[in-house]
Structures are given as C-alpha cells and as structure tokens.
Amino acid sequence: MDVSAIERCTGLSFHEFLREYWGRSPFVARAVSSSGFVDIVSSEDIDAFLSVSGLRSTFLKIVNQGVPVPMENYTTQGKVGADRLSDLIDPDAVARYWDRGSSLIIRSLHRIWSPLASLSARLGRELASPVTATAYITPAHARALPAHYDTHDVFVLQIQGSKRWVIHEPVVELPGPEQQGRDISVAVHERPLLDLVLQAGDALYLPRGFIHAPEALDDTSIHVTLGVPAFTWADAIGGLVSEIVAAMPAFRASVPLDDEPEHGFSLMLNLLRDELGNIDQEQSRTAFLRILKSKTPHQPLPVLGRSYEAKELRVDTSVEPRFGPRIAKIEQSKGAALVMCNGRTMKFPAALLPHLRDALDARVTAQVLAARHDGPSAEDVRKMLVHLVLNGLLRPVCSFPQAVDE
C-alpha cells in the first residue's frame, strides 16, 4: 500500500507531522527511504529536461553568484511545425554557464514531470493547498540564492550530493505575501537555529518565515523543493465573508462617494456582523468544508484515459471524487436528479439522487451504493458512475497513487 505524501517526504505519519511540526518548526528526516528520491527525479532526468525536452525559458532560471542571468543569454529560436518559437532553452548556452559555476533552477516541474506531478498532487490534497515543485542544481561550493525566507512552507528533498543549510529564526511571525522582503541583515549574523548538512535521501521541512542560506559542499548538489502556500484562518474566514457579501444585493451596491461613505461603511460592517451572527454551527461547518474543498488543488484530468477507465469500471470498482475546485451542485428538479458543475448540467433519474450525493462525497462502489439505497440496481448505479467518470467528476481509485487515510 502506498504511503501518504507526508510520510514519503518526512518519514512521519500524517497526524504526527501535523501535530508536531506543521507550521511550527523545522524537521530534518535522515534517509527517508532506502532508495532515496531517485524515483522522483534524477540527474539523468535533469539532463534530459535541459538538453532534449524543448524546455522554454519560463521554466529555467540561471543564477550566477546570486544574480539572475538574463533569459536572452541562454535561449534560442526553434520551430514547432510551422510555428517559430523564440524562447527555447539553448542547451549549449546552459552548459557554458554551468561550467562557469552558475546554478540552475528548474521551475514548475510539477507541470512537466509525472512523478513530481503525482507527489505534488497528493501532498496538495493532504495539506489543502496547491503544491509547486522546483529543482535546484548547484555546483560545488556555490549558492543558488542568498539568505532569504519564504512566505510558503517547503519540503526539501535532497536528490544528489550534499548541501549545508544554515537556518535562522524568523524576523516576522507566519509571514504571508504582504510580509515578503523584510530586512534580515541583522538576523543572519546571529547564532543560527540549525546548521546542518543534507545528504542524498535526506529531507527537510521548513515552515514559512525561517531564514535559510543553503550552500553546496564538495560536489554537485541537486535538491527539489515542494512549495506549499498555507491555507490560513484568514483564507477561511475571508472566503466565508466573500460568499456572504457576494450573495447580498446591499453589498453589491456602489459606494456613494459623494455622501459620507465612511458612515455607509460602518453600516455595512454592522450588517456583516449581523449576518455572521446568524450562521449556526451546521451552516458554519458546511461553509468551512466548502471553502476548504475550493482551496484543494484539482487532479489532472486524463484526456485519453477516461474512456478506458469508464470502459473497465465494474460494479465492484472503487471510485472517488476528483479533489479540487470542481465542486458539483446536486438538486432535484421536474422528476430528475441534476448534477451541475463548470457550466454543465448532467441529468439522471430521480431515484439516483441519494446515490449521486454519496458518490460525489466519498469513496464508494456501485455495489455498495445499490445496497445502501433502495431502487436502482448495481448495474444502473455503475452506468451512473461511468457517466461521472467520463465527465471528470469521479476517478477509479486504482488510476493514481493514493494517500493513506489514517
């Protein structure tokens, strides 16, 4: 059985990691697995990205002693069919910069490399946040970036070589994008919180705000960072407030700028306070879960694979909702059960209404749904599930690596 993405990155169980470290303190994991992380990306994969993949300039950043190299210095022209591109990575130019001691940063690997896409998607599901993957390839005794802090949490996976990490306490508590770029000149000269070396197969979790200055040691270092923007209480409450104000005409009215708008602002705050006070516990729970689901990244939708998945779906095949912002609305109208999502409406017999609600809520099989609810047969329910798979709302469980629910 596959381990959770958290365990793959830290060696800790999902609940232990959340309880002891998530958003609180750094954590170092030594030799997370016997094979390290070469199954995720290797130096051979990196070479392929840079030399034969047709990578475009936005995916690669070259840094020389902390200073970015202009993109036009390592890009070239090329053709795709009849179309001419002007921003293709020039492997020869990249090699020259590498030979001079520059560091290479390959961005958004979760978009172009399947193993990292899978791991990033699983981690994003577990932490309710979109995850980005970036590879840092640093020559011996070099730094890709100067000392800095991030406004998102990172999981560092050391792929090859070794790298020294000097870590200092934050200068701002739990920074968000608005707190980026604060002065750290004093903090970096104080005694570090941690001074450690990551070897191939080691991992580091670093919450947002912790100042770090990684440096390669005696050989080429390759590490991948998985960046996780925090889902904060400000996000959750702000999402709820946004839903309230968007639904009420009073909040959609234009601000009367010619008539003491500060008085109207006070009235609107009082109205919002009243609306928030009218939300009961069940409404609050439902709203929170809806907002949480909207923050969770969606899974890549197989373009060709859905037809095969639907064709192979049996009454005992487990399916589950594709997590992410594709939230379906289910209702009954004129003797039919309607599923509305992304501007489309799917129509089913009304007898399938409870089956639809269960199928779009948790992992199930057609057999389980048919036994749970009266009426439609397991075969009828299977056909319903096939339709939802083809429309991208469900996926067979066996199609993607799974996170473990503890």
| From 85-94, 317-326, 380-389, the region with the lowest mean pLDDT | 317-326
Q: What is the mean pLDDT of residues 252-257?
A: 89
Considering the chain, what is the average pLDDT of its residues? 90
pLDDT in tens, 330-373: 889 888 999 988 778 999 999 999 999 999 888 899 999 999 99
229 versus 296: which is more confidently predicted? 229
Would the pLDDT of 324 be above 70? no
pLDDT in tens, 99-126: 999 999 999 999 999 899 989 988 998 9
Q: Are 115 and 109 in contact (CB under 8 A)?
A: no
If we measure between CA atoms, which residue out of 167, 103, 107 comes closest to residue 141?
103
Pair of tokens at residue 293: 């689901």
pLDDT, position 1: 47
What CATH number has the domain spanning 305-399?
A: 3.90.930.40
Sign of CA dihedral 26, 32, 38, 40: negative
Would the pLDDT of 400 be above 90? no
Kindly give the pairing relationship between strand 75-80 and strand 83-89: antiparallel
Q: What is the mean pLDDT of residues 239-248?
A: 88
Q: How confident is the model at residue 2 (pLDDT cuts 50, 70, 90)?
A: low
Q: In angstroms, how far is the first alpha carbon of the chain from the final one? A: 13
pLDDT, position 405: 35
Query: Which H or E element spans position 387?
Result: helix 378-390
- In our burial notation (b when 16+ CB lie closer than 10 A, e otherwise), range 19-32 reads eebbeeebbbbeeb
Q: How confident is the model at residue 402 (pLDDT cuts 50, 70, 90)?
A: very low
Q: What percent of the chain has pLDDT over 90?
A: 65
pLDDT in tens, 33-90: 777 898 999 999 999 999 887 889 999 999 998 899 999 999 999 988 899 999 999 9
Long-range (24+ apart) CB contacts under 8 A made by 272-275 are 272/241, 272/244, 272/245, 275/244, 275/248
What CATH number has the domain spanning 5-228?
A: 2.60.120.650
Question: Ranked by mean pLDDT, which of 220-229, 276-285, 386-395 comes out on top?
Answer: 220-229
Residue 63 burial (10 A CB sphere; 0-12, 13-18, 19+): buried
pTM: 0.83
Q: What is the mean pLDDT of residues 312-317?
A: 93
pLDDT, position 323: 66
Would the pLDDT of 9 be above 60? yes
Pair of tokens at residue 59: 């995916």
| Domain ranges, ordered by start, for the chain | 5-228, 233-295, 305-399
Cα separation, 78 vs 89, in Å, equals 10
Would the pLDDT of 283 be above 50? yes
pLDDT in tens, 122-171: 899 899 899 999 999 999 999 999 999 999 999 999 999 999 999 999 99
Q: What is the mean pLDDT of residues 386-406?
A: 68
Would the pLDDT of 325 be above 90? no
